[in-house]
Structure 1
Amino acid sequence: MIFGIGTDLCAAGRMAEKLQKPAFVEHVFSPAEQALLNARGGTHRAETAAANFAAKEAFLKAAGTGLGGFALADLSVLRKESGAPYFVLTGPAADWINANALIPHVSLTHENGLACAFVVLEQNT
């Protein structure tokens, strides 16, 4: 059963500017995500960061919590070897997902400087 859905859009150019601020990077991205971003150069870094940021916001919309729901760094968006994105949740976000028996699904895309994320929270009942 679907618990919630969320979508969000983020401009890679805006994210490229934000990535210049270490405090922003530390606040928004987990250490694993920071490693992912550091492994990508140039425009790929900003596109990946924008897609991850959009996924975090889409997750919060699907959860119905809004921006104050969980720490953004607790919502890690990583990539499988195939390139498919997936969430790794920690802290209160992980506790909430487990308490509600939810499975998060995420799809990402980017083109022409925009990144889009779509999240479905499936209730595992």
Structure 2
Amino acid sequence: MIKSKDGITLIIGIGVDLIEVERVEKACKNEHFLERCFTKREIDLIREDIRKASDNFAVKEAVSKVFGTGLCGFSLTDIEVLRDKLGSPYVTLYGNALKFANERGITKIHVSITNTNIYSNAFVVAEGKET
């Protein structure tokens, strides 16, 4: 945790994840996997570009590391990863993921995704206020 001079927390946590693209794309052939891991809007995005599945899954893992919980205590669909008009990823939290964020004082999540043909990598920074 990094604090400013006035005691307000600037960075609550960071998370990073690296995942094999092929593994996630193979799992996405199973409709149950898609519905368990991704929101309806994410599934629509993935159906347009299958590569988004591994990118989004990596973001979800990285967010869970920010929480310090791993992938437990909330549903994967409580973390939604979409893209803005320019293609930049952003995260929206729901349910228990939103509860975890609020309990930790997280007010903003920044996300960056990079990938190769083999791997998707996500880096997440959570900022907020000291609780």
Fold agreement, TM-score > 0.5: yes
Matches within 5 A, 1:1-125: 1-40=10-49, 45=50, 47-102=51-106, 103-124=108-129
Q: Number of paired residues?
A: 120
Flag structure 1 segments of 5+ consecutive residues without an equivalent: none
**Residue identity (%):** 40
2:5 counterpart residue number: none
Structure 2 Cα separation of the partners of residues 33 and 58 of structure 1: 17
Structure 2 Cα separation of the partners of residues 66 and 16 of structure 1: 22
Q: Which amino acid aligns with 2:18?
A: L
Note the C-alpha offset of 1:94.
Answer: 1.7
What TM-score do the two structures reach when normalised by structure 2?
A: 0.85
What TM-score do the two structures reach when normalised by structure 1?
A: 0.89
Note the C-alpha offset of 1:104.
Answer: 1.0
Preserved contact between residue 54 and residue 116 of structure 1 (Cα < 8 Å): yes
Preserved contact between residue 63 and residue 121 of structure 1 (Cα < 8 Å): no
Note the C-alpha offset of 1:32.
Answer: 1.0
Larger Rg computed on CA atoms: 2
Structure 1 Cα separation of the partners of residues 96 and 66 of structure 2: 16
Preserved contact between residue 70 and residue 92 of structure 1 (Cα < 8 Å): yes
Structure 2 Cα separation of the partners of residues 95 and 57 of structure 1: 17
